[in-house]
C-alpha cells in the first residue's frame, strides 16, 4: 500500500513536469554561468550558553518542574553546526541544509540532527522551476508571524530569522512578466503528502494535500493569494500584500481564513471541551528606516486560533490549584490533565488572541563600526503582559558574529507572560561562518 501511495505521488509530479509550458521551451545556455562554480558549501558553527532565571511562582514552572524542583537559575549550553550545500549541472540543482545540535541541560546531554531542507530543483526555462524534496516555502509577508504560512512550520517570534525545518513537497514556479500596471504573475502549486514517516506531524496521515500561491506585482504592490486543501488539515485560504509607500516606509499585511478549526479548552476544574468553528487570523505591519539608519518594525497580530483571556486564566488556575493539591496530598491528577492539553495550542509561544510586536534597531550608533544594538517588545494586548528583549550584535571580526541579549518576561498572575517558567533569560551567541 505504501509503495502504491509513493508511486501516485511521483506520478503526479511527472504529470506536472510533462504538462508544464516550461517543458515546451528550449533550454538556452546562459554564458554568464560558465565561470560559476558548480558547487557551494557553507554554513556556521555556533556556541550558545544560556542562563535562565526561574519564576517558581509561575504556573508553567510548576507544571514542568513539580516532580523535579530546581534552584533559582538554570544553565544551558547549546552548540550547533549548520551546513548548507548545493550542486548545479545544466538545468538541475541539488540543495541541502542540515543542522546538528548538541545541548546540555538539567536533563543531561542531548544530540539531534535535522535535515531542514534537501531537494532537487529543475529549471528547464528561465520562467519555470520545479522542486521535489524537503523545502521551506516561506509564505507570508509578516516579520514575527505569518498566518498565511499554511505549509510552513511557525516562526519563533523572539528570533524570526532562524532557519526552520521544511516539509517534503513537490512544487513548481511559473513566472510571466508584462509591461504596464501588472508587471509580474507567478503560480506556485504544491503537493504535500502526509503518510507514515513522511510529514506525519503536519496533520492526519494517509492523505495527499494540495496547496498553492498566486503572486501579482501590481502597481508596485506585491500580492499573494494562497490556499491549502486536503484531509490532513481543514481547508484554508488567504492573501497577503506588501508595498513601499516611500523609499523608507513599507506596509504589509496578511489575512487567513481557516474552516472548521478544532479548539480544545480546559477550564479551572479540569473539564475538557472541544469545539469546531471557522476562524480568521490576520496581521498588519509597517517597516520604517529613518535617515539615521534606525529601523522600526511594528506589527499587530490577531490569532483567530488562540485563547481568550478568561480561557488562559482558567488554564493557569487549574495548574496553580493542582500544584497546591499535589503539595498537600500528593495528588497530581489536575497537573496531568493540564499537561495533556499543553502539548497542543496552549504550548505555542503565543497562545492568546491579540499581540503587538515592536522592533527597533540602530545600525552603527556613534560611528561604532559593525555594531547594531536593538530591542524588541511582544505584548499580549488583552492582559497587558509582555516580553522585552534588548540585544547587542557585533560583526567586526572576520567571519564571526557575536550576539548578547537578555529577555525579560513581565505580567501579573494568570497572564500570558506572567505565568511563563522564566522571569529572565540571558544568552550569548558566538557564530563562525565558513
Rounded average pLDDT over 190-194? 98
Terminal Cα-to-Cα distance of the chain (whole angstroms): 44
Each domain of the chain, given as residue ranges in start order, spans: 2-433
pLDDT band at 342 (very low <50, low <70, confident <90, very high): confident
Percentage of the chain lying above the pLDDT 90 cut: 90
- The predicted structure's pLDDT at residue 22: 40
Closest by CA position to 300, among listed 151, 139, 157, 155: 157
The answer to whether 46 and 82 are in contact (CB under 8 A) is yes
- The predicted structure's pLDDT at residue 35: 66
pLDDT band at 344 (very low <50, low <70, confident <90, very high): confident
Per-residue pLDDT tens digits for 197-238: 999 999 999 999 999 999 999 999 999 999 999 999 999 999
Three-state DSSP at 11 gives helix
The answer to whether 128 and 174 are in contact (CB under 8 A) is yes
- The predicted structure's pLDDT at residue 75: 97
pTM of the model: 0.89
Tell me the C-alpha to C-alpha distance, in Å, between residue 207 and each of 5, 152, 202, 237, 365. Answer: 9, 17, 11, 19, 53
Does 387 score more than 80 pLDDT?
Answer: yes
The answer to whether 147 and 306 are in contact (CB under 8 A) is no
The answer to whether 266 and 318 are in contact (CB under 8 A) is yes
Per-residue pLDDT tens digits for 155-180: 999 999 999 999 999 999 999 999 99
The tally of CA atoms less than 13 A away on the side-chain side of residue 207 is 16
What is the enclosing helix (H) or strand (E) of 288? strand 272-289
The answer to whether 349 and 310 are in contact (CB under 8 A) is no
Percentage of the chain lying above the pLDDT 70 cut: 92
Per-residue pLDDT tens digits for 278-329: 999 999 999 999 999 999 999 999 999 999 999 999 999 999 999 999 999 9
- Cβ–Cβ contacts within 10 Å for residue 111, how many? 9
CATH class in words for 2-433: mainly beta
The answer to whether 309 and 352 are in contact (CB under 8 A) is yes
- The predicted structure's pLDDT at residue 40: 95
Which of these ranges, 4-18, 134-148, 312-326, has the smallest mean pLDDT?
A: 4-18
What is the enclosing helix (H) or strand (E) of 59? helix 59-65
Which of these ranges, 130-134, 338-342, 354-358, 387-391, has the smallest mean pLDDT?
A: 338-342
pLDDT band at 4 (very low <50, low <70, confident <90, very high): very low
Task: Extract the C-alpha cell encoding 141.
Answer: 509577508
Per-residue pLDDT tens digits for 14-36: 434 444 444 334 445 454 555 67
DSSP assignment string, 173-199: EEEEE-SSSEEEEEEEEEEEEEBTTBS
Amino acid at each position: 500500500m505504501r509503495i502504491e501511495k509513493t508511486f501516485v505521488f511521483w506520478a503526479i509530479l511527472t504529470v506536472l513536469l510533462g504538462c508544464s509550458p516550461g517543458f515546451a521551451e528550449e533550454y538556452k545556455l546562459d554564458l554568464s554561468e560558465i565561470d560559476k562554480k558548480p558547487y557551494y558549501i557553507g554554513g556556521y558553527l555556533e556556541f550558545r550558553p544560556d542562563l535562565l532565571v526561574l519564576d517558581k511562582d509561575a504556573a508553567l514552572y510548576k507544571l514542568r518542574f513539580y516532580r523535579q524542583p530546581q534552584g533559582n537559575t538554570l544553565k544551558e549550553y547549546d552548540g550547533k553546526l549548520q551546513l548548507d550545500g548545493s550542486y548545479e549541472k545544466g538545468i538541475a540543482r541539488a540543495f541541502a541544509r542540515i543542522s546538528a545540535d548538541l545541548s546540555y541541560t538539567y536533563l543531561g546531554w542531548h544530540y539531534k540532527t535535522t535535515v531542514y531542507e534537501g531537494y532537487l530543483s529543475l529549471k528547464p526555462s528561465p520562467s519555470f522551476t520545479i522542486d521535489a524534496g524537503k523545502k521551506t516555502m516561506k509564505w507570508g509577508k509578516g516579520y514575527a508571524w505569518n498566518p498565511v504560512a499554511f505549509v510552513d512550520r511557525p516562526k519563533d517570534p523572539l528570533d524570526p530569522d532562524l532557519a526552520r525545518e521544511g516539509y517534503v513537497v513537490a512544487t513548481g514556479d511559473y513566472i510571466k512578466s508584462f509591461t504596464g500596471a501588472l508587471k509580474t504573475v507567478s503560480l506556485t502549486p504544491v503537493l504535500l503528502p502526509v503518510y507514515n514517516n513522511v510529514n506525519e506531524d503536519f496533520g492526519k496521515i494517509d492523505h495527499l494535500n494540495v496547496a498553492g500561491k498566486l503572486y501579482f506585482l501590481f502597481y508596485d504592490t506585491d500580492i499573494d493569494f494562497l490556499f491549502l486543501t486536503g484531509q490532513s488539515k481543514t481547508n484554508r485560504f488567504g492573501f497577503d500584500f506588501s508595498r513601499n509607500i516611500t523609499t523608507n516606509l513599507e506596509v504589509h499585511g496578511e489575512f487567513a481564513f481557516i474552516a472548521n478549526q478544532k479548539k480544545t479548552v480546559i477550564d479551572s476544574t479540569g473539564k475538557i471541551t472541544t469545539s469546531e468553528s471557522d476562524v480568521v487570523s490576520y496581521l498588519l505591519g509597517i517597516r520604517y528606516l529613518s535617515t539615521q539608519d534606525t529601523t522600526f518594525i511594528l506589527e499587530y497580530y490577531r490569532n483567530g486560533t488562540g485563547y481568550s483571556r478568561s480561557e488562559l486564566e482558567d488554564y493557569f488556575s487549574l495548574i496553580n490549584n493542582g500544584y497546591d493539591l499535589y503539595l498537600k496530598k500528593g495528588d497530581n491528577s489536575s497537573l496531568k490533565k493540564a499537561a495533556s492539553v499543553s502539548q497542543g495550542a496552549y504550548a505555542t509561544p503565543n497562545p492568546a488572541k491579540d499581540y503587538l510586536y515592536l522592533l527597533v534597531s540602530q545600525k552603527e550608533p556613534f560611528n561604532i563600526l559593525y555594531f547594531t544594538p536593538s530591542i524588541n517588545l511582544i505584548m499580549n494586548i488583552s492582559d497587558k503582559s509582555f516580553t522585552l528583549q534588548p540585544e547587542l550584535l557585533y560583526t567586526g571580526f572576520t567571519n564571526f558574529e557575536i550576539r548578547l541579549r537578555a529577555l525579560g518576561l513581565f505580567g501579573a498572575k494568570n497572564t500570558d507572560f506572567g505565568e511563563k517558567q522564566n522571569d529572565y533569560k540571558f544568552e550569548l551567541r558566538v557564530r563562525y561562518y565558513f
